[in-house]
Structure 1
């Protein structure tokens, strides 16, 4: 009985809501509970994990953003007499650009105003302070390049397909064709 009461209580207090202010969502975007989105555009078929905060960002198609991610927001004027936004009018607030098919792991912080290239992967618990090149894996505090996901020939072929502009069925076919081409080449 106590167990049933506990789970009923837990279910009752699970909040399935999010906060959206000046947001434009693409087709079939999935947003988990307790997400704050402000001044943001999200492309088609992307998802945002729970407890994430995204301010002034442009996110491409097919992006996977895990839970507890912080993107953008205002930076305080540490070079001025006061860091308080109440006293200083120098707060910076630039748009953060995230390309298509980017995977951002949980508990990642992205500085405002940076660019994340298409196909990039950002490891969990990373703090990204600089732009990330397309199809690059970065991780750490501050985030550093681990390696490229593919060689240059594969990246060139992948970019030519522009699969991220397609419906999922068509995109999957393009990627399967690419997979066959490079699998055959390896054998």
Structure 2
């Protein structure tokens, strides 16, 4: 009963703050959803684990169905963040869809504003532990990003990327047909 009540309270708190939460989506009580005049939308059957932070900051975070956001990941939305279906985000991932302007050395960086192109993540993507995704990146369907990688450029569909900056190491190929799956 206590667990059910905690789940209900967490979901109610998120909905009352203005977030849109799909059915059967679970949000850990120690996860943080901050809209700050932005929007957060979570699809159905998602999991947001302990310590994960979804921070819209006046922008928008859209997450599809069947996604998991594991502990201590930080997803910002101020430049726009769109995540497809069946995406796995491992622990400690940071996604930053905005960048500080810094070209004018005669002005403080904090006074130069930001540029925001946004980040898009396709369907069936896996971001390994402590991956960093920077502004303007499109992670294509089926991509895998290895642990600790820094993604500064868009990926190709079904590519496997590792390193800082992330580089394509190989291509994922189908091993079995859908009819072979259990």
Which TM-score applies when normalising by structure 1? 0.70
What root-mean-square deviation, in Å, do the aligned CA atoms of Structure 1 and Structure 2 show? 2.3
- 1:35 aligns with 52
Higher strand fraction: Structure 1 or Structure 2?
Answer: 2
Select the structure of larger CA radius of gyration.
Answer: 1
Tell me, which stretches of 5 or more residues in structure 1 are unaligned?
Answer: 1-14, 159-174, 181-187
Q: Distance in 1 between matches of 2:108 and 2:85?
A: 36
Q: Distance in 2 between matches of 1:20 and 1:177?
A: 42
Alignment of 1:57-72 (within 5 A): 57-72=81-96
Q: 2:178 aligns with which of 136, 154, 176?
A: 176
Aligned residues of 1:127 and 1:141 also touching (Cα < 8 A) = yes
Alignment of 1:133-172 (within 5 A): 133-150=156-173, 154=174
Alignment of 1:86-165 (within 5 A): 87-89=111-113, 91-150=114-173, 154=174
1:83 positional shift: 5.2
CA change 1:26–1:142 in 2 (3 A) is same
CA change 1:100–1:51 in 2 (3 A) is same
Is 1:44 the equivalent of 2:65?
yes
Tell me, which stretches of 5 or more residues in structure 2 are unaligned?
Answer: 1-28
CA change 1:54–1:83 in 2 (3 A) is farther
- 2:16 aligns with none
1:19 positional shift: 2.3
Q: 2:41 aligns with which of 5, 19, 24?
A: 24
Return structure 1 stretches of 4+ with deviation > 3 angstroms: none
Higher helix fraction: Structure 1 or Structure 2?
Answer: 1
Which TM-score applies when normalising by structure 2? 0.72
